[in-house]
Every structure is written in structure tokens, then in C-alpha cells.
Homo-oligomer: A and B are copies of this chain.
Amino acid sequence: MKTRDKIIQASIALFNEQGERNVTTNHIAAHLGISPGNLYYHFRNKEDIILSIYDEYARNLLLETFPKASDDVKPLDAIILYMDAVFQAMMKFRFFYSNLPVLLAKNPLLREKYVEVQTFIADRVSNMMESLRTADMIRFEDDELADLVSILRIVNTFWLSFYQTQNMDNEIKESVFFEGVLKIIAILRPYATEAALPDFIKARDMYKQRFEDSLVAA
């Protein structure tokens, strides 16, 4: 692995473990056994490292996790698989999401890239809702779509933060993703058509089972 990549990988690990705020560029260099000067040859400062983490890793992951439309993937499965994948991607960069407004306020270029990705994601989630409606699985008025998409995205973006702030124990285990997906299904369920309700219940029961299995396994 090249030094630049080593710095990025070590930073992700240290930020997640110790909190981005508690980790300096000197900590990162010491952790890798390189000189601070060597680190500064690759990155100007910590903000520059965070920008690269988002731009080169998190961003691509978020854009690539969109399931391709196909005859094999049903629209309900598409949205569930997508949300599941996003929760897992967020877990890899959890330091980023637990600190989001603060990190973006400090770094206008990061904000620009983040806002660009968010606009793209909003469009895709909106298209998924339209597909579900076209498949007669959910029903909503046109004037409800924008709010529905926002609500899905708020829960998706802040579920891990919410979870971490509801208990004295804030460790994130695999079970937390499954709970997150269950919240997404719960948002959609009241929109379900009568014909599609069994599919929603089935999806919910499947994730409930995964949730319970992951608790036993932990």
C-alpha cells in the first residue's frame, strides 16, 4: 500500500475508534511510524485528509451501492437492499456522520461535495418511490413525494447518531443496521396498498429475524 493510502486507512480507523476530534495529524503519523513531515507531504492538514476520505471512498461507496434496475430485483427489495448497503457504508465512516454539521461547517469544499452527492441520492430515492408506486405497491399523492423522500433520508442519515444517543451503551453492533432497515420499512408501510401489505410484513419479519439472530450471535 502506498503511504497516501496508508494515511487514509489509518485515519479512518483512528477517527472511528477515538473520535475525529481527539485525533491529530501527529497521532496519525505516530500510529504509522512515519514523520509528521512525510504526512504533510501528502496532506496539508486534517481537513484535507477528511476531504479525501469522503471524496475517494465514502462518495463512491454511496454512489455505487445503488442497486441497478433489473427484472430480477423487485422495487421493494431494491429500496431495502439500498438502505441496508447505505447503513453499512455509513458504519465504515461513522466518525463522519456523528459529526456531520460540524465537519461540513469547517470545510466548504467538503460541503460542496457532500451536497452534490445528497442531491443525487435524493433523486434516486425519489425514483425508487415512483417505481414502488408504478408497481402498485405504495400509494401517495404527488405533493407527498418530496416529504416522503426527505423523511427516508433523515432517518437513513441520522439513524446511527440517534441510536448512539438513546442508550448509555453507544457501541454499534451489526443488529443496529437491521433496526435501521426496520425503521425504513416502518416509514413505507402506511403507504402500502392492500395487495402489497403482505410483502411489507414479510420484509419486516425477515429483518426482525435477522435483528434477533444478530443479538444471539453477538
* Docked-complex contact B154 and A183, CB < 8 angstroms: yes
From A106, which residue of chain B is reached at the shortest CB distance?
B19
- CB neighbours (8 Å) of A154 from chain B are 154-155, 158-159, 162, 183
Is the pair A144, B186 in contact by a Cβ cutoff of 8 Å?
A: yes
- Determine whether the beta carbon of B164 is less than 8 Å from that of A161: no
**Does A44 reach chain B (CB closer than 8 Å)?**
no
Q: Which of A89-130 contact B (CB under 8 A)?
A: 98-102, 104-106, 108, 111-112, 114-115, 118
CA distance A100 to B165 in the complex (A): 7
24 contacts between A and B (CB under 8 A): A21-B102, A98-B105, A99-B102, A100-B165, A101-B164, A101-B170, A104-B164, A104-B170, A111-B168, A114-B165, A115-B165, A118-B165, A140-B190, A144-B189, A144-B190, A147-B183, A148-B186, A150-B183, A151-B151, A151-B187, A153-B162, A154-B158, A154-B159, A187-B187
Cβ of A43 within 8 Å of any chain B Cβ, yes or no, is no
Does A157 make an interface contact (CB < 8 A)?
yes
Contact assessment for B155 and A115 in the assembled complex, using a CB-CB cutoff below 8 Å: no
Given A19-B105, A164-B101, A182-B147, also A157-B158 (CB < 8 A) = yes
A167 in contact (CB, < 8 A): yes
Chain A residues at the B interface, C-beta cutoff of 8 Å: 19, 21, 98-102, 104-106, 108, 111-112, 114-115, 118, 140, 144, 147-148, 150-151, 153-155, 157-159, 161-162, 164-168, 170, 182-183, 186-187, 189-191
